[in-house]
Amino acid sequence: MAPMFGASSLGPSAFGCVARNSQSKPVNRNYSTAAQTAITSAGLRANSRTLTPMMMWSNDKRSKNLIAYTQVENDETNAEARGKEDFTFSQPTELSGPWGSKVPARFSYLLVLQSFVIVGLLLFITIKQRPSDAACARQLSPYSPYLESGDLEYQEFTDQNHLMQPSPYRGQPNPEVEEAWVRLWRVPPIHFPEEKLEALNKTPAENYEHVPKDLGGGVKGFLNVFHQLHCLNFVRQYTYRDAYDYSNVTTFRASKEIVRGHVDHCIETLRHFLMCQSDVTPVVFEKDPSRPSGSKSDFNMRRKCRNFGKIQAWTVANKGV
């Protein structure tokens, strides 16, 4: 009978040595090729992780040494010895996790992927929730009905403003220049809700002029930008008062002291505004060999400005008279 690969034949002495059984009878060694293959396969199944049975047939007919067992390295040891070259994503690999636990490699990859997705979503939400220009303007400015209207728009451009730059608003006074300035600042008053007076530190409401209810109600006023433009225009006119006839302009019909006081008021208004805004855009020096200093100030500056045309249009659409 062929030897069986059971527990009785794999005693402690079987590892690393030859198993001898003096009680066994001689065995016919002339197995067919198929039989030898079956025996070998059975042995491999018996202990595939630690022992590999090897059929060792002696040429000596009297030999009773039928089977020898040789201890070999297991598959995991062989894989480590071969290194990373045998590693593929399809292998059931494990990675060491915290506190010595084992984490499947595929699960680790999923955790990394999930982390990237979460970070990407958080970044997207942060960008989408970044405050808009209109929100920043409301945060950095006193109350204005225009800022709450949603019409605020910014424009970016490079200003053309060198020393002798032509403009419809500069040069010797003439009817065209005067009309161009008037169109900038002469707009009707507006109205806004009475309860907003407190936001402007203007109380009590009885101290301020109101718009009739049939015209929309609320408090009567105007946007400060148009007052500033009026002041700038008046100072311009004052510098040309001896070269142009301004007798039809209301602000010049007062006494010299009042006119002078009005001019000083406008200069102070513009000073307040310029210092309050404090434009910090850098002005650079452009090389110019024709000048004694070798350079000139480059006033053609990059700007980001509120759309003045939209402010004018909103003012006309929300007039209080």
Residue-level pLDDT at 100: 52
Question: Can you list the positions of beta strands (E) in the chain?
Answer: 51-55, 67-71, 94-96, 102-104, 154-158, 190-192, 219-221, 284-287, 295-298, 302-306
Q: What percent of the chain has pLDDT over 90?
A: 55
Sorting pLDDT into bands at 50, 70 and 90, what band is 130? confident
Which of the four pLDDT bands, split at 50, 70 and 90, describes residue 163? Answer: confident
At 319, phi and psi to the nearest 5?
A: -65, 145
pLDDT of residue 249: 94
Domains identified in the chain, total number: 3
152 and 300 belong to one structural domain: yes
Query: Do residues 190 and 74 both lie within one domain?
Result: no
Strand partners, 52: 70
Q: Is residue 190 part of a domain?
A: yes
Work out the pLDDT band at 80, boundaries 50, 70, 90: low
Residues 115 and 209 both lie in one domain: no
Residues 118 and 249 reside in one and the same domain: no
* Domain presence at residue 1: no
H-assigned helices in 68-196? 75-82, 105-128, 133-140, 175-185
In this prediction, residue 28 has a pLDDT band, given cuts at 50, 70 and 90, of very low
- 2 falls within a domain: no
Do the bridges between strand 219-221 and strand 302-306 make them parallel or antiparallel, or are there none, so unpaired? Answer: unpaired
Name every residue whose Cβ is closer than 8 Å to that of residue 100 and which is 6 or more positions away in sequence.
Answer: none
Lowest mean pLDDT among 17-26, 116-125, 176-185, 202-211: 17-26
Residue 166 pLDDT exceeds 60? yes
Does the residue 261 lie in any domain?
A: yes
Q: Which of 55, 34, 42 is nearest to 4 (CA)?
A: 42
Judgement on whether residues 31 and 107 belong to the same structural domain of the protein: no
Q: What is the pLDDT of residue 120?
A: 86
- 145-179 exposure pattern, b = at least 16 Cβ within 10 A, e = fewer: bbbeeeebeeeeeeeeeeeeeeeeeeeebeeebbe
């039928």: which residue's tokens? 66
Per-residue pLDDT of 279-316, as tens digits, reads 999 999 999 999 999 999 999 999 999 999 999 999 99
Q: Are residues 182 and 100 in the same domain?
A: no
**Average confidence (pLDDT) over 93-111:** 62
143 and 59, same domain (yes or no): no
Q: Count other Cβ atoms within 10 Å, centred on residue 251.
A: 16
Structural domain boundaries, residue 20: 7-86
